[in-house]
């Protein structure tokens, strides 16, 4: 990765050059976007392009059905151009004022809803009769103009019957593993005295921590921001606090550390592991505010991350650390991580095999 600056039209412009290999190693979602870009640029026939794109998106997100609608020029309708995994009879055209798809198109907004919550009950019955239970609408936007909508759907393969019964039996899964959404993991709360004698309260992050996180990033230097985001951002995007505090507790691990002497405004560090569905390995990151670095807070966060990851049966933790971030490199070494220098990235890949005791 390289950082360039140049003047254009009286304004200073910044460009970040990133290799495809570096992106693929760090972030599977970004790697998927690269794959999609390469695929889209290789086709010229519209239907093949749309069907191929839809198939790739469905496969990546493990979804069973999808549709793509495009705007009909001059009239207020969207026309079905591609579909996979479902019977589309009665769904060939949608008015832009109709349902979730029309709303997504009009407002250029992402919508995720249960089909049963549609105001048009006839349409809800039509969709549910096809086995659809939930739908995600993704607007397709070109030059700030909506040109269509991609619908991604979850299908219920069970037959809906007018007469049914529920049989209650002991679950094969222990609580709370049987729940679709895991509850807040309060068992991971800790009060820790660091090796430097500082007492911190560490717990899993909560959605309401977004405000604390906004205050925390105000204590980060541009150097610390670069170490975490691999780019010297002038400000943290406003979406970041919400993104980091909305956690799937069953899959990911996100921890926050507070100063026990200042719980109201005392967020001192954050740490997280992101695990992709079906994988036993996860990417980790640890970030401590500049005024509190070197006090053992990062080590305390990392120790708890490793403990929780082992408890979840994960096999490998890994991360990418800029070569200049000597504090994190030293911490990784002390915690048993192996290091491999990547000359093209001027960074180290750190790994910890959790299967070794």
Q: Please identify, among 62, 90, 119, the residue that sits at the C-terminal boundary of a domain.
A: 62
State the Cα angle at 191 between 336 and 240, rounded to 5°.
75
Please report whether residue 9 resides in a domain.
Answer: no
Do residues 209 and 243 share a domain?
A: yes
Do residues 339 and 216 share a domain?
A: yes
Q: Please identify, among 139, 156, 173, the residue that sits at the C-terminal boundary of a domain.
A: 156
Task: State pLDDT tens for residues 36-71.
Answer: 555 554 444 567 677 878 887 888 777 888 898 988
Please report whether residue 262 resides in a domain.
Answer: yes
Domain tally for the chain?
3
Listed as own residue / partner, the contacts of 349-354 with beta carbons closer than 8 Å and 24 or more positions apart are 349/25, 349/318, 349/319, 349/320, 350/318, 350/319, 350/320, 350/321, 351/316, 351/317, 351/318, 352/306, 352/316, 352/317, 352/318, 353/315, 353/316, 354/306, 354/309, 354/310, 354/314, 354/315, 354/316, 354/317
Do residues 348 and 278 share a domain?
A: yes
Do residues 232 and 119 share a domain?
A: no
For residue 234, give the 3-state DSSP assignment: coil
Do residues 270 and 334 share a domain?
A: yes
Crossing angle of helices 326-334 and 297-311, rounded to 10°:
50
What pLDDT band is residue 301 in, cutting at 50, 70 and 90? very high
Please report whether residue 3 resides in a domain.
Answer: no
Residue 277: domain span: 186-353
pTM over 0.75: no
Please report whether residue 283 resides in a domain.
Answer: yes
Q: Please identify, among 156, 172, 204, the residue that sits at the C-terminal boundary of a domain.
A: 156
Residue 250: how many other CB atoms lie within 10 Å: 15
Please report whether residue 26 resides in a domain.
Answer: yes
Do residues 260 and 141 share a domain?
A: no
Please report whether residue 192 resides in a domain.
Answer: yes
Do residues 239 and 327 share a domain?
A: yes
**Nearest-angstrom CA–CA distance, 223 and 290:** 9
Please report whether residue 1 resides in a domain.
Answer: no
Do residues 55 and 73 share a domain?
A: no
| φ/ψ of residue 199, rounded to 5 | -95, 125
Distance of CA 156 to the CA centre of its chain: 25
Residue with tokens 């993704």: 138
What's the token pair of residue 171? 């679950």
> Measuring CA to CA, which residue among 242, 202, 241, 200 is closest to residue 218?
241
Q: Answer whether residue 255 shows pLDDT above 60.
A: yes
Residue 275 sits in a domain of what CATH number? 3.40.630.30
Do residues 210 and 331 share a domain?
A: yes
The per-residue pLDDT for 235 is 52
Do residues 47 and 151 share a domain?
A: no
Task: State pLDDT tens for residues 128-147.
Answer: 877 777 888 888 877 677 88
Task: State pLDDT tens for residues 159-175.
Answer: 333 333 334 345 455 54
**Nearest-angstrom CA–CA distance, 117 and 127:** 11
Do residues 51 and 95 share a domain?
A: no
Mean pLDDT of the chain: 75
Please report whether residue 337 resides in a domain.
Answer: yes
What's the token pair of residue 294? 């070197």
Q: What percent of the chain has pLDDT over 70?
A: 71
Do residues 238 and 334 share a domain?
A: yes
Residue 88 sits in a domain of what CATH number? 3.30.450.40
């Amino acid at each position: 990765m390289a950082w360039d600056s140049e003047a254009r039209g009286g304004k200073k412009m910044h460009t970040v050059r990133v290799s495809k290999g570096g992106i693929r190693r760090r972030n599977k979602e970004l790697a998927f976007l690269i794959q999609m870009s390469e695929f889209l640029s290789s086709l010229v026939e519209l239907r093949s392009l749309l069907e191929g794109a839809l198939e790739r998106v469905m496969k990546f997100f493990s979804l069973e059905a999808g549709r793509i609608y495009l705007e009909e020029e001059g009239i207020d309708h969207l026309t079905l151009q591609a579909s996979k995994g479902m019977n589309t009879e009665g769904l060939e055209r949608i008015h832009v004022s109709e349902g979730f798809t029309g709303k997504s198109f009009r407002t250029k907004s992402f919508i995720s809803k249960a089909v049963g919550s549609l105001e048009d009950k006839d349409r809800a019955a039509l969709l549910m009769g096809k086995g659809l239970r939930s739908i995600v609408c993704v607007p397709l936007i070109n030059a700030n103009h909506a040109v269509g909508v991609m619908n991604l759907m979850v299908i219920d393969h069970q037959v809906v019957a007018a007469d049914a019964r529920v049989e209650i039996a002991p679950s094969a899964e222990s609580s709370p593993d049987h729940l679709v959404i895991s509850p807040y993991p309060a068992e991971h709360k800790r009060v820790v005295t660091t090796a430097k004698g500082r007492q911190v309260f560490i717990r899993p992050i909560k959605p309401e921590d977004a405000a604390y996180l906004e205050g925390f990033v105000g204590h980060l230097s541009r150097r610390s921001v670069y170490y975490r985001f691999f780019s010297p951002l002038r400000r943290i995007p406003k979406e970041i606090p919400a993104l980091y505090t909305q956690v799937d507790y069953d899959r990911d691990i996100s921890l926050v550390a507070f100063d026990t002497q200042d719980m109201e405004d005392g967020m001192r560090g954050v740490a997280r592991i992101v695990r992709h569905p079906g994988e036993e390995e996860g990417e980790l990151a640890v970030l401590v505010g500049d005024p509190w670095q070197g006090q053992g807070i990062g080590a305390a966060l990392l120790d708890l991350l490793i403990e929780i990851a082992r408890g979840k049966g994960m096999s490998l933790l890994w991360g990418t650390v800029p070569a200049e971030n000597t504090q994190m490199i030293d911490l990784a070494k002390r915690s048993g991580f192996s290091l491999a220098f990547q000359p093209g990235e001027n960074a180290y890949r750190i790994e910890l095999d959790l299967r070794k005791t």
